[in-house]
Structure 1
Amino acid sequence: MAAMTQPLRSSTDTPLAEPSAPEPEAPKHDAFGVYIHVPFCASRCGYCDFNTYTPTEVDTSHATYLDALEKELELAATQKLPKADTVFIGGGTPSLLGADGLGRILTAIKNTIGINPNAEITTESNPESTSPEYFEGLLRHGFTRVSLGMQSASTPVLRVLDRRHTPGRATQAAREAHAAGFAHINLDMIYGTPTETDDDVRATLDAVLDTPVDHVSAYSLIVEDGTAMARKIRRGELPEPDEDTYATRYELIADALEKNGFDWYEVSNWAKPGGECRHNLLYWTGGNWWGAGPGAHSTINHTRFRNVKRPERYAAMLAGGTLPIAETEELTADILHFEDIMLGLRLKQGVPSGWVNGDVDKHVRNGLLAKGERIAVTDKGRLLIDGIITDLLASEDAE
């Protein structure tokens, strides 16, 4: 795609197609975020299909990447973007850049797009590439939140996932981050890994609850085509994940967290009061964000676009003064409605009743949805949320 030398069009510049669903009854999320993708990992986890690269796959020169990223942020600033209310650095393994490398990224955002006072500023980190000095450096550079990939406290489960860190390192890193001064710390869990037992999940929860974290994300394992794990399952070397097992493990996790001061605010995310991830809420509530880095996605004024994936191509396009955009999509009213329902019903607050045209009453009768001024999923419905959303949208199409 050619370089964008003019600001992205406002949604008012080109009228959308006639909407097939009611417009939202209240303003959408008005915060603005910046996402930075760091595409480097020391090794590849067997379940991962993210846009990441190891040293054997590409030149993982941090200097080349940071130079290109700074150029993208300079070009992004010409699009007349608002200052960022949230910043999230993900990957990949951002902690491979070290605190000073991540601080350089934050400085580049401040000097180009800008960051509002009291912004939430998060970086993901792999426990194995952190230390007390690393967390102290992050705070010194202005980070306010850190997210650590724990996945499991079981050595056999970590081995199946091809994770390199030892079981206790993630919780130790969480304590180090807290000791350094971080008030907001997340631990990521994965459940449903082949060979995992209920006791493995209980042990992981015990370890999590013995830390000072204020946020926990717990995701069921999704076996993506093309991953090493998918190949092992296809060859019969690992059992295929089971839906009933997912449900049992989710109930274990929800029960333990909710009895220990965490409240769910999105189906896979729990937080203590004030610990919710503002950046992710921006995604889930229809906000705008600029995504920088190889393969990063952006959504600006009903336009979504994706950067080229390969780091070398990304750097080459920016060296030529061109934004590294691979594809662009205009978000029609139908797409926006689909995403409003798909994302909004995963939130505890649900969505305004006027947004949903499908057969809500059926799910209310079955105890899966609650209906009033808003439609929200019940505790029973949380186990079946994907199917509920699919059914609601299908029943709208059938009308």
Structure 2
Amino acid sequence: MAGPLPIGDPAPVDGRLPADLTIDPQTPFSAYLHVPFCRVRCGYCDFNTYTSSELRGAKQEDYASTLIAEIDLARRVLAEAGALRPMDTVFFGGGTPTLLPPGDLARMLTAATDAFGLRDGAEVTVEANPDTVTPQVARTLADAGVTRLSIGMQSAVPHVLTALDRTHEPSNVRTAVDAARGAGLAVSVDLIYGAPGESLEDWERSLDAALGLDPDHISAYALIIEDGTKLARQIRRGEVPTPDDDLQADMYELADRRLADAGFDWYEVSNWSRTPDQRSRHNLAYWRGTDWWGFGPGAHSHVAGLRWWNVKHPAAYAQRLAASESPAAGTERPDDESRMLERVLLLSRIREGIAIAELPEGNRSRVAGLIADGLVEAAPALRGRVQLTLRGRLLADAVVRELTDESGR
């Protein structure tokens, strides 16, 4: 299970939005549908997920109906605020969404589409464990309106999968990809690098295997040790080594080189696609700060600068909705300075970067130093935008600190 929820203001029981909230009808709107169930908890994971022994009164078979109740609430709330907009993207995340019957995922998508509408050409993604995808599952999802499957491959090397507590059969990644392709779905594969005991050669083997699947999109995330996870405890006890930052940097550079050679282009620090049309539009919505409603326990939402988050446990989530109450646990409205800092943090990670004019005025002169240090591309900066070099992507957090440090304001 994830760490504690943020500390914010109490959320209204009826979920109503503040009367003074100004919602731009032209701002894109997305939906995130959280499915918090997993067969096994991976040792590195701190997402809000639950195995069957942790549900304590919540039932997987009731989950679709419970989440649909939140969709109904969201429609009432947004209609009252005059802000109903069709969805540009939908993302089923987890957990493992495909642990639910595909018909349940189809019901949730239909309910959301009926409530808000779905733009022509919208992107609808389902995350999937390779062991749970069959041709029938893929066809049912495609028939329901899903357009894209994001498959949790993580690694092609058995001992790396073991270190990550991943239990899927590596051969089933190909099976899942073939099933998705057969149903006409776009395919993304997710990889993790820097696991305990993983060598550069292991990582190269995983990259080769992923490229051999001929996906449209690849995500490659450095392993991060999160407090409270099994892996963090193992490292603290000295049972496994701490990930090596220098090795992870070498792995990132190898990934960028191999993916570029195979025709992939980076568009966010950890994401590559074959064409601009195959980028994850849903994730870009987060990085660009558009509006979305997050459905499900622990899910976070953002509308016109207002944020809120739901209660974490599926049982508490279900109890709130059964009582016709909002499942929101807290809310906040960051001030202008906080929003500016977050905008720099997010936009600097994507290829299009951020306009220099959006930086704190006293920090804009620092761009020249970042160019000299090889962290920011010179030509885009002359056109007024901060875009990271390869070295800048490796040191993205340091770039953000330099661009937002209060001494420049």
TM score, norm. by length of structure 2: 0.91
Structure 1 position 211 matched with structure 2 position 218: no
Are positions 1:342 and 2:352 aligned together? no
Matched with 2:245 is 243
Does 2:31 correspond to 1:31? no
**Is contact 1:89-1:122 (8 Å) kept?**
yes
Per the alignment, residue 395 of structure 2 pairs with 384
> Which whole-Å CA distance do the structure 1 matches of 2:192 and 2:325 have between them?
38
Structure 1 residue aligned with 2:12: 2
Matched, 1:366 2:373: yes
Q: Equivalent residue for 1:90?
A: 93
- Asked whether the equivalents of residues 46 and 162 of structure 1 are also in contact (C-alpha less than 8 Å), the reply is yes
Residue deviations 1:137-184, cap 9 Å, x none?
Answer: 1111110011010100000000010001122222331122112211x2
User: Is the alpha carbon distance of 1:305 and 1:6 closer, same or farther for their aligned partners in structure 2, counting shifts above 3 Å?
Assistant: closer
CA gap 1:282/1:28 in 2 versus in 1, 3 angstroms: farther
Is 2:179 the partner of 1:176? Answer: yes
Q: 1:28 to 1:215 in 2, by over 3 A?
A: farther
Q: Which residue of 2 aligns with 1:202?
A: 204
Partner SS state of residue 56, structure 1: helix
CA distance in structure 1 between the aligned counterparts of 2:346 and 2:319, rounded to whole angstroms: 35
**Helix, strand or coil: the match of 2:331?**
strand
Gaps of 5+ in 1: 14-26
> What does residue 53 of structure 2 align with?
56
Query: Any idea what SS the aligned residue of 1:377 has?
Result: coil
Q: Check if 1:115 corresponds to 2:106.
A: no
- Contact 1:28-1:287 at 8 Å conserved across structures: no
- Distance change >3 Å, CA 255–CA 152, structure 1 → 2: same
Does structure 2 retain, via aligned residues, the 8 Å contact 1:8–1:300? no
Q: Displacement, 1:38?
A: 0.5
Alignment RMSD (CA, Å) = 1.7
**Counterpart of 1:369 in 2: which secondary structure?**
coil
Residue 164 (str. 1) matches residue 167 (str. 2): yes
Aligned residues: 384
Question: Quick one: distance in 2 between partners of 1:329 and 1:294?
Answer: 18
Alignment partner for residue 63 of structure 2, among 62, 65, 72? 65
Shift of 1:353: 1.2
Query: Could you say if the C-alpha distance between residues 43 and 4 of structure 1 is closer, same or farther in structure 2, counting changes exceeding 3 Å?
Result: same
1:9–1:201 Cα change, 3 Å: farther
Give 1:227's match in structure 2, choosing from 226, 229, 237. Answer: 229
- Cα drift, residue 60 of structure 1: 5.2
Q: Does 1:280 align with 2:280?
A: no
Matched-pair contact (CA < 8 Å) for 2:64–2:105: no
Deviation track 1:43-71 (CA, whole Å, cap 9, x = no partner) reads 10000011000001114522322221111
**Alignment partner of 2:350: what SS?**
coil
Distance 2:64 2:281 in 1: 25
Residue 321 of structure 1 corresponds to which residue in structure 2?
Answer: 324
Could you say which residue in structure 2 is the equivalent of 1:145?
A: 148
Q: Is the 8 A contact 1:42 1:55 kept in 2?
A: yes
1:313-357 Cα offsets, whole Å, 9 max, x none, are 100010111110001010221121011100101011111110123
Corresponding residue number in structure 1 for 2:42: 45
Which structure features the higher share of helix residues? Answer: 2
Partner amino acid, structure 1, of 2:196? P
**For residues 181-192 of structure 1, what are the structure 2 equivalents within 5 Å?**
181-182=184-185, 184-192=186-194
- TM-score (normalised: structure 1): 0.93
Residue identity in the other structure for 1:176: A
Q: Which runs of 5+ in 2 are unaligned?
A: 1-10
Partner of residue 5, structure 2: none
Q: What SS does structure 2 have at the residue aligned with 1:121?
A: strand
